[in-house]
Structure 1
Amino acid sequence: MTDSGRGAVVVGVDRLEEGRAALAWAAREAARRDVAVRVVHAAAHSADLLDAGYSSAVLDEVDAGARAGLEAAAEVARAAGAPHVEVRLVHDQPRRALLAEAAGAALVVTGARRRRGLRTLGALELGSTSLFLASHAPVPTALVRTLPPAGGPVAGVVVGHDGSGHADAALRWAAGYAAEAGVELTVVAVWHPPFAVAATPYGLDVPDWTQTLRVVEDAAAERLEAAVEAVRAQQPGLPVAHRLVRDESAAEALLAAADGSRLLVTGTRGRGAFAAALLGSVSHAVLHRAGGPVVVVPQPPGRDLGPEPGRSAAGTGPQG
């Protein structure tokens, strides 16, 4: 099992037509872990309807519709192979409801909502609840817009790593997932020049600038090698590949590396300018733009995660 143990896989559902991919992915994860899927619908209408003067009969009717939707969602999960399905209607705001359900869960899964309007008809965007969970949930949060193609070659897991503690937590989770699933893990580190210009800046001559680039690249390579060696020690037998990419956009590099993968894994934040934010700028960008499943892994507070891969040096990278 992964670090989260044998807790349920919690999946939040608002509209069934927008949540089918998330339900199916959650069901497959539950089957792989041999745990329950808990399908949750958060309805914050109770107090609003009562405050507006509606009778309890109206509330009961609305609840009946919500429960029918939950049962339909449960059937989707069962059809996708979930070994056991629970349904839960919660009268609360979606953020609070799903955050409460995350306690003790193995994983929280959300989908994307369909944009309204002629110019964006059919497009799927990330809702505020998904972003909130990715930032605040105590367990890994998966965003699933679409499922990986079925019937093709078995795809591996891609994880971004920048040497930060949050990246280390993501790397451990991704390695455990890949080992359990029997697929390859690819660790991606992104580096870029220390100045936001292409030419030699601040009066540096060409040899000095070239040496500066070499130092930055070598430091990134050392962090990546240390991370890979730690994973190989923790997961003997796991096939591990690594890729060092020079790119001004860590998000672009991660998305390109994860194209066609089974799963893309990131940490909540990293070493970049937004390191003080709960969800780093790169993870934020990846969540908004990824086509396949993405899992954001939090760093457990006050928890000993064991030897930390890639802690020897600081630098820029794909977590924040």
Structure 2
Amino acid sequence: MTGLVVVGVDGSASSLAAVEAAAREARLRGAGLRVVHAFVWPATHVPFGSPPLGPPESGLQNMVDRMVAEAVERARTVWPEVDVSHVVLSGEPLTVLEAQSRAAALVVVGSRGMGAFVGLLVGSTAVHLAAHGRCPVLVVREQPHTDGPIVLGIDGSAAGQKAVDFAFAEASLRNAPLVALHTWTTWNAPMPAPQDPSMPYANPPGALAEEEERLLAEAVAGRQERYPGVAVDHRVVHGGTREALIEASRSAQLVVVGARGRGGFAGLLLGSVSQALLHHAHSPVAVVRGAGERH
């Protein structure tokens, strides 16, 4: 597998954790790694270079250079075999990283950057990039698990198929088991066709659960043949989707979800489940946009 892995850095501990995760992804994929920093000029007229009366190592340019150099060195230290490049671009982080995502196989960011407000569990750049990125977006916590399964949230929608493909590929690359998790409640489960047409709302006990198990099986059909080395655990849970996936993330090394599920409102770029996971999951979260979803 090839393709460029892009990681956004801002000097925070979260972004350095993202650099390590991105370097690992690049090594697994046989891809190059690009370290990207988006530089926003301050509102005050601060010179980019060293001030005339200050020490030569001061100034915004030197600060940015040191930050990027630290990120590049971190990547090369943890995975020396990865080809690492770097670039500093003027602009808002979301705008810069969204543009980078157009030619990337994966964009990796930390869950919270230097500009995050105290108390927020995830920064606005991570949430907005997950909604607008043109490739899968991986949001990393400061201390991600390096073992455990890949957890895949499945809702049976056509838009979620790209997330299924991504999760199987990740499980194969990481040599990790895959938990395919689907949740349902009596209120959101599609009604199966009645066995007695004269009683359209009558179904035997267990019919809804069986229908949901069938939906899960169909959603992952064909992937086992493509990834025979991936052990898959099918889990159908009667309960809330957000709660089940957040709980499963406690022991996972990665949770993969689509950007929007079958219950999403038209026009929304990011669904409530993916947003909840970005804020509350205990593991890194990969958000994968579906084919044909508008940006």
Place the TM-score, normalised by the shorter chain, in its bin: 0.7 to 0.9
**Shift, 1:111, TM fit:** 0.5
CA contact (8 A) 1:228 1:242 kept: no
Backbone CA RMSD of aligned residues? 2.7
Distance 2:217 2:48 in 1: 62
Counterpart residue identity of residue 34, structure 1: G
CA contact (8 A) 2:48 2:60 kept: no
1:50-109 CA distance string (max 9 Å, x none):
xx4x55656993122111111011111112215122111111111111111112112101
In the alignment, what sits opposite 2:191? none
Structure 1's 192 and 36: CA in aligned 2 closer, same or farther, altered over 3 A?
same
**Shift, 1:272, TM fit:** 1.3
Counterpart residue identity of residue 260, structure 1: S
Distance 1:276 1:221 in 2: 29
In the alignment, what sits opposite 1:13? 9
Structure 1's 156 and 61: CA in aligned 2 closer, same or farther, altered over 3 A?
same
Q: Are residues 1:188 and 2:178 paired? A: no
Report the TM-score when normalising by structure 1: 0.77
* Superposition pairs of residues 148-227 of structure 1, within 5 angstroms: 148-149=144-145, 154-194=147-187, 211=203, 214-227=206-219
**Shift, 1:164, TM fit:** 0.5
Report the TM-score when normalising by structure 2: 0.83
In the alignment, what sits opposite 1:204? none
Distance 1:135 1:98 in 2: 12
Distance 2:27 2:107 in 1: 15
CA contact (8 A) 1:274 1:281 kept: no
Structure 1's 254 and 37: CA in aligned 2 closer, same or farther, altered over 3 A?
same
Q: Are residues 1:109 and 2:119 paired? A: no
* Superposition pairs of residues 17-166 of structure 1, within 5 angstroms: 17-45=13-41, 48=43, 52=45, 57=49, 61-82=59-80, 83-113=82-112, 120=119, 125-149=121-145, 154-166=147-159
1:213-237 CA distance string (max 9 Å, x none):
7343222111012123332233234
Unaligned runs of 5+ in 2: 52-57, 189-199
Q: Are residues 1:242 and 2:240 paired? A: no
In the alignment, what sits opposite 1:308? none
Residue among 271, 282, 286 paired with 1:295: 286
Q: Are residues 1:252 and 2:224 paired? A: no
**Shift, 1:194, TM fit:** 1.3
Counterpart residue identity of residue 95, structure 1: L
The number of residue pairs the alignment matches comes to 274
CA contact (8 A) 1:146 1:292 kept: no
Greater share of helix residues, 1 or 2? 1
Structure 1's 68 and 240: CA in aligned 2 closer, same or farther, altered over 3 A?
same
Counterpart residue identity of residue 165, structure 2: R
Per the alignment, in what secondary structure is the counterpart of residue 221 of structure 2? helix
Segment of structure 1 superposing worse, 124-133 or 224-233: 224-233
**Shift, 1:212, TM fit:** 7.9
Distance 1:100 1:155 in 2: 33
CA contact (8 A) 1:134 1:141 kept: yes
Unaligned runs of 5+ in 1: 196-207, 303-320
Counterpart residue identity of residue 219, structure 2: A
CA contact (8 A) 2:47 2:60 kept: no
Distance 2:23 2:95 in 1: 23
Counterpart residue identity of residue 177, structure 1: E
In the alignment, what sits opposite 1:263? 254
